[in-house]
Amino acid sequence: MPRSTKADKARQLNVAQHLLKRNVALSEAASTLSREFGRSLRQAYRYLEEAAQLKKPVPITEATAPVTLKLPPTTVQGLRAYARSSGQSKRRARRDSLEVHLAYAFNRLFEWKLAQAYDMFGARVRAPDRRACQGEERT
């Protein structure tokens, strides 16, 4: 049987918590979890124990994929310093920095480049007014 992902475990804990809040008998809740998620009764009881300790549902996170990046040493030093000063793990600091960069890179494309995309793909949707976007930097 394959290992559960973090998202799978979060879903299963949320279902277990929901069953407990509905005051379903433990044996019935364990049977339901076991049947719905293909887990052993023993594992289902473990999830119920863990769910009983939860104050709110577990957020379901997006799956991750490993990526190797080659960065200049100064960038790595800067990320490490940021991680130390913010109290975040290095992994979290790298992910946050990359997400901010990607959000910036893609959001700054919008207005006038979106208008170009509308033109290229022949969209029938009204594109933004290019004159309103004249002041934007074009890259």
pLDDT digits over 63-106, tens only? 777 878 788 888 888 878 888 888 888 888 877 877 776 666 66
Note the pLDDT of residue 29: 95
pLDDT digits over 17-33, tens only? 999 999 999 999 999 99
Helices (DSSP H) in the chain: which residue ranges? 6-21, 26-37, 41-52, 73-86, 90-107, 110-121
**Range with the poorest average pLDDT among 50-59, 64-73, 107-116:** 107-116
Instruction: Tell me the domain boundaries of the chain.
Output: 6-52
* Residue 18 amino acid letter: H
Residue 3 CA to residue 38 CA, distance in Å, equals 12
Radius of gyration of the chain (CA): 24
Residue 35 CA to residue 51 CA, distance in Å, equals 17
Residue 57 CA to residue 14 CA, distance in Å, equals 5
Q: Which two tokens stand for residue 108?
A: 């700054």
Residue 80 CA to residue 88 CA, distance in Å, equals 10
Note the pLDDT of residue 13: 94
Does residue 2 have a pLDDT over 80?
no
Mean of the pLDDT values across residues 13-20? 95
Does residue 135 have a pLDDT over 60?
no
State the pLDDT confidence band at 110, using cuts at 50, 70 and 90: low
